[in-house]
Amino acid sequence: MAPFDFPLEVIRTNRKRSVAIQILGDTVRVRAPKTLSERRIHSIIAKRTAWIKRKLREQAERPALKPKEYVSGEAFQYLGRNYRLKVVKTPKASTKPSIKMQQGYLVATIPETTANPQRRIKALLRDWYQVRAEQRLKEKTERLAKVVGVTPRSITVRDYKSRWGSCSVKGDISYNWQIILAPHRIIDYVVIHELCHILEHNHSPQYWKQVEKYVPDWRDCRAWLKDNPIIF
């Protein structure tokens, strides 16, 4: 394959038709079917070169994301809204560590003797988010499944590293719990995305037509997910 003027990684997969292009830092990752010729892959990349270079520039210009410190005053998202963290340290060693939403704050209560309080608060927040993700995503999936006209076999929440959701050929749907940090419309798009896979278990034009019936602005939602990395 002729070289491009940007780092390129081509991964061959068992997908049947579509080619997926991801921008990961300063590298372009292309996932393509094993049956697709290098010439065809080259042609697809060449056609998307302007878009690829624009995304690489945006990545380079984007300020580095600051890791969370889990201290009072730090902002955390939930359903697209920011909530300030308020850490309350009590003198009672018997105090049960907890996270509660109170008056617009995420209040973390821990004993003042807690070793490595930041790590403990992170674990508390993670558990808090996961419980709400299970509740909200199940509610949304059951409601939107009626709209789409499908019935998932199961609905679960997992800790994915590089995907927002998954749907098996048998209709088992699972979500990345971190999607609960995003706005409602983005979550709804992810839910519809997975529900439509029960109808079309691929990313063919027919599949995207199904998605567009329920989320006309799905392209904007997909772009939002790519352009707004969720940091926890």
Is pLDDT at 15 greater than 70 in this prediction? no
In this structure, what DSSP letter does residue 113 have? T
Most confident of 60-69, 136-145, 216-225: 136-145
In this predicted structure, what is the pLDDT of residue 106? 96
- SS3 percent helix, strand, coil of the chain, rounded to 5, is 40, 25, 35
For residues 29-51, give the mean pLDDT.
89
Which pLDDT band, with edges at 50, 70 and 90, does 58 fall under? confident
Q: For residues 102 and 88, what is the distance between their CA atoms, to the nearest angstrom?
A: 12
SS3 of residue 87 by DSSP:
strand
Which one is predicted more confidently, 143 or 28? Answer: 143
Higher-confidence residue of 13 and 131: namely 131
- pLDDT value for 16: 65
Q: pLDDT-derived band of residue 98, with 50, 70 and 90 as boundaries?
A: very high
pLDDT of amino acid 31:
86
pLDDT-derived band at 2, boundaries 50, 70, 90: low
Backbone phi and psi for residue 207, each to the nearest 5 degrees, phi listed first? -60, -50
Q: Give mean pLDDT, residues 20-35.
A: 84
Which of 32-36, 37-41, 64-68, 84-88 is predicted most confidently? 84-88
Helices vs. strands in the chain: H and E counts, helices first: 6, 10
3-state secondary structure of 202: coil
Cα separation of 191 and 189, whole Å?
A: 5
Average pLDDT over residues 123-129: 96
**pLDDT value at position 4?**
82
pLDDT tens per residue across span 175-225: 999 999 999 999 999 999 999 999 999 888 999 999 999 999 999 999 888
Identify the top-confidence range among 1-10, 15-24, 215-224.
Answer: 215-224
In this predicted model, what pLDDT tens digit does every residue of 145-174 receive, in sequence order? 999 999 999 999 999 887 899 999 999 999
Instruction: Please state, in angstroms and rounded to a whole number, the distance separating the CA atoms of residues 131 and 140.
Output: 14
pTM comes to 0.76
